C-alpha cells in the first residue's frame, strides 16, 4: 500500500535522479503534454457533467498532476507557455466553477491548450520512454478518470429515475476479470470460425491439452449440456489464453497488441483470478497487486478490436 501511495501521489518525479538524460528540458516537455492530458480531462469532465462530487474523489491525483505540471513548466523554462498554462492550475473544482465555466474556466483552458499546440509547432516534440512508475501513474489515473466518468453518469441517471430504481455498483477487480473472460470467448470463437469455417470446434479441442479438454467435457455432461458448440463457455481463463496464444497468427487481427504483450497481460490476469477466487486477505495479496490486475484487464479490453467492422480481413497479422 505504501508503494502504491508513493507511486501515485508523490509530487516528485518517478525517474532516476542520477541519470541526466531524465532531466533534459525536452523530456520534461514530453511529460508536460502527458500530464496536461490528464489534468485537462479532469477539468472538462467537471464542465461536462451536470453534477459533481465534492470533495473531489480524485483530489489527490489533481494535486499530484498540478505539482508535476509546475515542475515541467519550470524545467522547460518558456515564459509564454508558463503564462498560459499556470492560470489553469488555479481553477477550482467547485460548483461555482461549473456555474461560470463558459465565462471563466473555458477561456483559460483554451488559452493553455493553444499555447501547448503552438509550442508543439515551434519545437519538435521528441518521444521518450516512460519509466514503469510513470506508466503506472498514467494508466491508473486514466482508469480512475474513466471510472469517475461512469460513476457520475450513473448517478445522474439515478437522479432522473424513480427512487426505487436499482443502482448499479461500480466495477471491482472481479468484474474486470469476468469481462475479460467473456470477451476472450467471443474472440476465440470468431477467430477460429473465420480460420476454420467447417472444423473450428475440432481445432479448438485439439489446441487444448487432454486434461483441460476432459475437464470441459465432464462439466458439460454434469450440467446436461448436449450442444457441442457451447464448448468454449466451459473453458477456463488459462484455456482461453492457450487457444489464442497458439493461434495468434490468425487471432492477432482481433488485437492491437503483440503476442508477448497479450501473454504478459494474461499472466497477471490469471494470477489475479486465482487470488480473487480464493478471497485472499490483504496481507497475503497487497492492494497494489489487485490494482495491477485491474490495469491489466483494462489494457487488454482496450486492445481487443473487431476486424470485421474495421475494414480489415480476418487473419491479417498486426504489423
* Least confident piece of the model among 8-22, 131-145, 298-312: 8-22
Residues 10, 142, single domain; the answer is: yes
Residue 315 lies inside a defined structural domain of this protein: no
Predicted local confidence at residue 319, as pLDDT: 34
Kindly state the average pLDDT of the residues 209-235: 89
What's the number of domains the chain is made of?
A: 2
DSSP string, 184-198: HHHHHHHHHHHHSTT
Query: With bands split at pLDDT 50, 70 and 90, how would you rate the model's confidence at 7?
Result: low
Query: With bands split at pLDDT 50, 70 and 90, how would you rate the model's confidence at 246?
Result: very high
pLDDT above 90 (res 119): no
Residue 265 lies inside a defined structural domain of this protein: yes
What range does the domain containing 147 cover?
2-160
Predicted local confidence at residue 17, as pLDDT: 63
Between 52 and 260, residue with greater pLDDT: 260
* Least confident piece of the model among 73-82, 131-140, 231-240, 244-253: 131-140
Query: With bands split at pLDDT 50, 70 and 90, how would you rate the model's confidence at 16?
Result: low
Predicted local confidence at residue 8, as pLDDT: 62
Residues 8, 154, single domain; the answer is: yes
Query: With bands split at pLDDT 50, 70 and 90, how would you rate the model's confidence at 88?
Result: very high
Residues 154, 206, single domain; the answer is: no
- The torsion angles phi and psi of 309, rounded to 5 degrees, stand at -115, 5
Kindly state the average pLDDT of the residues 39-55: 82
Question: What percent of the chain shows pLDDT beyond 90?
Answer: 27
**Nearest of 184, 203, 183, 190 to residue 315 by alpha carbon:** 190
User: Is the peptide bond between 55 and the residue preceding it cis, with omega within 30 degrees of 0?
Assistant: yes
Residue 7 lies inside a defined structural domain of this protein: yes
- The torsion angles phi and psi of 255, rounded to 5 degrees, stand at -130, 155
Residue 124 lies inside a defined structural domain of this protein: yes
Kindly state the average pLDDT of the residues 139-144: 89
Residues 149, 193, single domain; the answer is: no
Last residue of a domain, one of 160, 182, 217: 160
Residue 318 lies inside a defined structural domain of this protein: no
Predicted local confidence at residue 66, as pLDDT: 92
Three-state DSSP string of 69-110: HHHHHHHHCCHHHHHHHHHHHHCCCCHHHHHCHHHHHHHHHH
Residues 79, 194, single domain; the answer is: no
pLDDT above 50 (res 223): yes
Kindly state the average pLDDT of the residues 121-137: 83
Residues 255, 276, single domain; the answer is: yes
Last residue of a domain, one of 160, 192, 207: 160
With H, G, I as helix, E, B as strand and everything else as coil, classify residue 45. helix
pLDDT in tens, 267-299: 999 999 988 888 888 778 888 888 889 999 999
Predicted local confidence at residue 112, as pLDDT: 93
Residue 168 lies inside a defined structural domain of this protein: no
Residues 112, 224, single domain; the answer is: no
Amino acid at each position: 500500500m505504501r508503494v502504491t501511495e508513493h507511486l501515485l501521489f508523490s509530487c516528485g518525479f518517478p525517474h532516476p535522479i542520477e541519470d541526466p538524460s531524465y532531466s533534459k528540458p525536452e523530456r520534461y516537455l514530453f511529460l508536460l503534454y502527458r500530464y496536461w492530458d490528464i489534468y485537462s480531462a479532469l477539468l472538462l469532465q467537471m464542465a461536462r457533467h451536470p453534477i459533481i462530487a465534492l470533495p473531489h474523489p480524485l483530489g489527490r491525483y489533481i494535486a499530484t498532476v498540478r505539482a508535476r505540471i509546475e515542475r515541467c513548466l519550470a524545467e522547460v523554462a518558456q515564459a509564454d507557455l508558463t503564462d498560459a498554462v499556470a492560470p489553469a492550475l488555479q481553477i477550482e473544482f467547485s460548483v461555482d466553477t461549473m456555474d461560470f465555466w463558459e465565462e471563466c474556466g473555458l477561456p483559460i483552458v483554451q488559452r493553455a491548450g493553444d499555447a501547448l499546440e503552438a509550442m508543439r509547432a515551434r519545437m519538435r516534440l521528441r518521444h521518450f520512454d516512460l519509466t514503469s512508475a510513470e506508466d503506472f501513474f498514467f494508466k491508473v489515473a486514466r482508469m480512475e478518470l474513466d471510472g469517475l466518468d461512469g460513476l457520475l453518469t450513473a448517478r445522474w441517471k439515478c437522479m432522473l429515475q424513480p427512487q426505487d430504481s436499482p443502482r448499479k455498483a461500480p466495477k471491482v477487480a472481479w468484474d474486470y476479470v469476468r469481462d475479460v473472460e467473456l470477451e476472450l470467448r467471443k474472440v476465440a470463437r470468431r477467430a477460429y470460425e473465420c480460420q476454420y469455417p467447417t472444423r473450428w470446434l475440432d481445432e479448438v479441442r485439439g489446441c487444448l491439452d487432454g486434461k483441460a479438454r476432459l475437464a470441459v467435457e465432464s462439466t458439460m455432461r454434469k450440467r446436461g449440456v448436449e450442444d457441442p458448440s457451447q464448448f468454449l463457455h466451459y473453458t477456463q481463463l488459462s484455456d482461453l489464453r492457450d487457444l489464442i496464444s497458439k493461434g495468434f497468427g490468425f487471432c492477432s487481427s482481433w488485437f492491437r497488441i503483440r503476442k508477448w504483450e497479450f501473454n504478459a497481460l494474461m499472466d497477471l490476469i490469471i494470477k489475479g483470478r486465482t487470488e480473487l477466487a480464493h478471497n485472499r486477505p490483504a496481507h497475503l495479496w497487497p492492494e497494489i497487486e489487485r490494482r495491477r490486475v485491474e490495469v491489466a484487464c483494462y489494457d487488454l479490453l482496450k486492445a481487443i478490436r473487431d476486424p470485421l467492422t474495421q475494414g480489415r480481413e480476418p487473419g491479417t497479422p498486426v504489423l
